[in-house]
Amino acid sequence: MNYSLFCESLDALIADVPYPLAVLSNAAAFLYESLPDLNWAGFYQTDTNPAGERVLSLGPFQGKPACIEIPWGKGVCGTAAALDQTQLVPDVHEFPGHIACDAASASEIVIPLHKADGSLWGVLDVDSPVMGRFTEEDRAGLEEAARILEKALSSALP
């Protein structure tokens, strides 16, 4: 996978786009179309639910309809958010508390995204039906993509 070309194309697609939903929607479509062997790619945003609890709420994505709300610290996404740390999971069935939105998911990588002030904006979630789909090369490439997304989101309208 040529991540340097991938990141250059992503930057060209979303840099200076003034609408956050447009940034996220096109980024989800680009990821899903560009990376082989995915069954889901998209975003969850840090949010507060009607009960006043901190959660992740579903954002723009490609793939099957997904869980609307993920409890803070739960599943792969909630863990990545709570620890503010990338989670690379070769086998989701072995991840305690994994939330199966699509039974076909076998491996995934979740990367935290930050606002300009350094606080957590949410996460990028990329899922695959292939066991062990994501390598350290994917981690480095997608973390670079996350920096490009952060820059685009920070310059978009609030």
> Measured between alpha carbons, how far is residue 70 from residues 43, 46, 79, 137 in Å?
12, 10, 10, 27
Choice between 17 and 108, CB closer to ligand SME:
108
Token pair 């606080």 is found at: 119
Choice between 11 and 138, CB closer to ligand SME:
138
Choice between 130 and 156, CB closer to ligand SME:
130
The residue whose Cβ lies closest to ligand SME is: 75
Distance CA 102, CA 73 (A): 20
CB of 8 to ligand SME, least distance (A): 27
CB of 65 to ligand SME, least distance (A): 9
CB of 141 to ligand SME, least distance (A): 20
**In this structure, what is the dihedral angle of CA atoms 141, 12, 65, 85, given to the nearest 10 degrees?**
30
Binding site for ligand SME (CB under 6 A): 40, 66-67, 70, 75-77, 98-99, 101-102, 105, 108, 125, 127
Query: For residue 88, what are its two tokens?
Result: 């690379």
Choice between 16 and 33, CB closer to ligand SME:
33
CB of 61 to ligand SME, least distance (A): 7
CA nearest to 45, candidates 89, 13, 78, 23: 78
CA nearest to 145, candidates 118, 109, 100, 103: 109
CB of 157 to ligand SME, least distance (A): 26
Query: For residue 110, what are its two tokens?
Result: 């979740």
Choice between 8 and 53, CB closer to ligand SME:
53
